[in-house]
Structure 1
Amino acid sequence: MNEAQGRPGSVEYLGVTPRSQRLTLLDLFAGAGGLSLGLTWAGFRSLAAVEVDPAAAATYDANFGGHILRDSRGRPLPMEQVDFTSFRGRVDLLSGGPPCQGFSLLGTRLEDDPRNRLWREFIRAVDEVQPRAFLMENVPPILKTQEGAFTIEHARELGYSVVAGVLSAEQFGVPQKRKRAFFLGVRDGAVSLPRPLPGTKFMTVRRAFAGLPLQPTNEDLHMGRTPTGTSLERYATVPEGGNRFDLMAKRPDITPRCWLEKATGSTDVFGRLHWDQPALTIRTEFYKPEKGRYLHPSEHRPITHREAARLQTFPDDFHFEGSKIEVARQIGNAVPPLLAYVIGLHLESALERRSVPTVQPTLFELVPG
């Protein structure tokens, strides 16, 4: 297999060789476009996208050419207002990730959560567009819900071969342990999930951060915060790979009372990343160490927006629109483009009637020397 080439933060460094865009793509619940970006690398051309969040929609338009569907006033159209029949016969791949909070293990998983119903809009779009293939992404718990079962059942009634399962991003070259559920459907022919090569070596935080200054420059998303003196003292107690329990043991005098009163619980809270391992899941508030394992491996600070984008495999030339909080939300909610690229290559092979590869070349040698 080929070694990664190119400067850190580039598409080439990720091991990606973009293909000619011969197939068409319609992306729903598109967010900033992480899924679209990887799929365009794999040979799909974006026709249009649906994203209701203004900042994420602006990011998508900035990177893909103004494809967000909008109303007469220029406002992004919500899914419920889109008539998809005009796209029938024009779309090779319909993709999207309906909001997942209603299914997430981090939430209350209420059966009547209105966000759970948006997956019906995705199925409606499949029915109206009749694409050659579809790709739906969500959190793993959806596979055990009635909604997940109905998605498979209804897609099969529409004439699709369907497969669903969980993929772990780190097994496909992403420097992050991120599990997501994927539903793949193909109208004509068989379909399967991509499989990693047994014994895959993982991309690491060290390789992802290569070339970035250890201290934030406050330019190009490499933005730092201004911690209090107490916060700096707390950071200093946590070793590489450590967490809040190191703080509790070493400095109970500066440990928040709520942690002192909770002797058990998550080992990721106030955690520090390992240099030579993948990160854990990057969520939308990665700039808050109290929310997860977001401390830099060696510096006494949380990771920057640029570092989080690197862990999500966004190349440095991808442009984000919005405030710091809005950009962080876009980064944390995205499908890692490199994972989308792997799935896109898999689907492109199925649609072009080529043999479906077991493993994608160039993605598995991205390890420290």
Structure 2
Amino acid sequence: MATTLIDLFAGCGGMTAGFVAEGFQPVLAVEHNLHAASTYAANFGEDHVFNAAEKPGEFSGDIEALPDDDIPEVDVVIGGPPCQGFSNLGSRDVHDPRNKLWKQYLRVVQKARPRMFVIENVDRFMRSSEFALLLAEADGGMLKDYTLSYGVLNAADYGVAQRRRRTIVIGSRTGHVPLPQPTHARDVDGLDDDLAPWRTVRDRIAELPEKPTTTLLPNSTATWFGVEVPGSFKGLDLHIGRNPTAKSIERYNHIPPGGGRFNLPDHLLSNCWRNKKTGTTDVMGRMRWNMPSVTIRTEFFKPEKGQYLHPQWDEHDPENRVNRPITHLEAALLQDFSPDFLWCGSKIEIARQIGNAVPVGLAAAIARHLKAHLN
């Protein structure tokens, strides 16, 4: 019998993709954004995606509208409730209206009675009032039946070609379940033979064309939930470039792998960079072929936002340099999505889905770990 799954705040389905790869069966997904929900539906099916809209051709994925009676009992619940609007650390009041999204996650756990649940969030989550709230609920509150394990995991340690640190919480009502042990390491010399070396940017994007042929997504639409949306796109559809200015290209040309704004000559510095001598070291940075990427955020197509320049750069031959930011396809591959994964939405909307996703390989590692304990 299949191991059943609910994905809350599902986004485009990065976490579901990892769990499905390990044999889990999603039976309910909740996502409020139409385009992200459409991407999810394109890959995993529309029938189990919650839609509260009362009229045909409309979509409403607000988790607060999810009826208790529509929440099935499952083996595992996963998701990452957004961090926003919480009360101060001292109050820990789950009934504070600003805590409604967390309260909704806990409500679903109570109704679904999963044997285990997984919460993922940003690395600083463990230092937040939200985390204190969670621990309080496991101490005689809404999660009193669950034992929690938690910590910060680096996706690169689990076979993802990206250094992305995320807080992971595992709750279990069938006994203590620790966090999964790393399968990969930066330096495997002298370490356990079972650890593989980190996967690199080269592993994921080296085979792609260096020069995108277009700046536009194909002109096509798909219909999900009775609503027409841009899509579905996959593979080279997402290998789209930009039109940088001549000054931007000149800046890119000065930046070696691992470098950034501090490699720019004075005449190419903006005033804010010239006046800020420290910090923001990743700004206008170039990736390195033989390392995992930095965290892929929602604006990876803007080099001024981080280390998002293509890694190809030859110190001695300017003609052998790729002076552009990574494409949507390259970002998706660095998030460990398959080239055949389907995407819906505009360029901005798809970029947001990619950057907000849980890396598929990290989700798969967690899924394998949970499945071993479930069995």
Give TM class, smaller chain.
0.7 to 0.9
Q: 2:176 aligns with which of 190, 199, 212?
A: 190
Give the Cα–Cα distance (whole angstroms) in 1 for the partners of residues 347 and 298 of structure 2.
11
Deviates more, 1:284-293 or 1:94-103: 94-103
Contact 1:221 1:305 in 2 (8 A): yes
Distance 1:102 1:194, change over 3 A: farther
Unmatched segments (≥5 aa) in structure 1: 1-20, 104-112, 353-369
2-side partners of 1:101 and 1:225: how far apart? 33
For residue 4 of structure 1, what is the aligned residue in structure 2?
A: none
CA distance in 1: counterparts of 2:294 and 2:182, whole angstroms? 19
Q: Does 1:175 align with 2:161?
A: yes
More contact order relative to length (CA 8 Å, sep ≥ 6): 1
1:331 and 2:354 correspond: yes
Match of 1:75 among 46, 49, 59: 59
CA apart distance, 1:189: 2.3
Alignment of 1:179-328 (within 5 A): 179-197=165-183, 199=188, 200=195, 201-218=197-214, 219-247=236-264, 250=265, 252-298=266-312, 299-328=322-351
Alignment of 1:127-138 (within 5 A): 127-138=110-121
Give the Cα–Cα distance (whole angstroms) in 1 for the partners of residues 44 and 237 of structure 2.
Answer: 19
Q: 2:98, 2:163 → 1: CA distance?
A: 25
Q: For each residue in 1:119-177, what CA deviation from the matched residue of structure 2 results, as whole angstroms up to 9, or x when unmatched?
A: 22211211122112111111122212332133234245431121111110000110000
TM-score (norm 2): 0.81
Is the CA contact (8 Å cut-off) linking 2:249 and 2:324 kept in structure 1? yes
Equivalent of 1:162, from 141, 148, 172?
A: 148
Aligned partner of 1:204: which letter? T
Please say if residues 155 and 185 of structure 1, whose CA atoms lie closer than 8 Å, have aligned partners that are also in contact.
no
Query: Given the alignment of the two structures, is residue 346 of structure 1 paired with residue 369 of structure 2, yes or no?
Result: yes
**Contact in 1 for aligned 2:149/2:176 (Cα 8 Å):** no
Paired residue total: 319
Amino acid of the structure 1 residue aligned with 2:364: Y
Structure with max Cα Rg: 2
Q: Secondary structure at the match of 1:342?
A: helix
Deviations 1:203-253 (A, max 9, x none): 000111132111113442010001111111111011111100101xx2x22
Whether contact under 8 Å (2:10, 2:30) holds in the other structure is yes
**Deviation of residue 115 (structure 1)?**
7.1
Deviation track 1:60-88 (CA, whole Å, cap 9, x = no partner) reads 11111103200223413211111234334
Report the identity percentage. 48
CA shift for structure 1 position 102: 6.5
- The 5 Å alignment of 1:45-64 reads 45-64=25-44
Q: Is the 8 A contact 1:85 1:129 kept in 2?
A: no
Report if the CA contact (8 A) 2:83-2:130 is conserved.
no
> Which residue matches 2:106?
123
State the match for 1:152 in structure 2: 135
Say if 1:272 and 1:114 are closer, same or farther in 2 by CA, change over 3 A: farther
| Structure 2 residue runs without a partner (length 5+) | 87-95, 189-194, 215-235, 313-321
8 Å CA contact 2:71–2:108 kept in 1: the answer is no
Would you say the 8 A contact 1:57–1:76 is kept in 2? no
- Structure 1 residues 27, 280: closer, same or farther in 2, change over 3 A? same
Normalised by the length of structure 1, the TM-score is: 0.82
Residue 134 of structure 1 aligns with an amino acid whose one-letter code is: F
CA RMSD of aligned residues (A): 1.9
In structure 1, C-alpha distance between the alignment counterparts of 2:44 and 2:204, rounded to whole Å: 24
Partner SS state of residue 290, structure 2:
coil
Cα distance in 2, alignment partners of residues 220 and 82 from structure 1 = 35
The aligned counterpart of 1:143 is 126
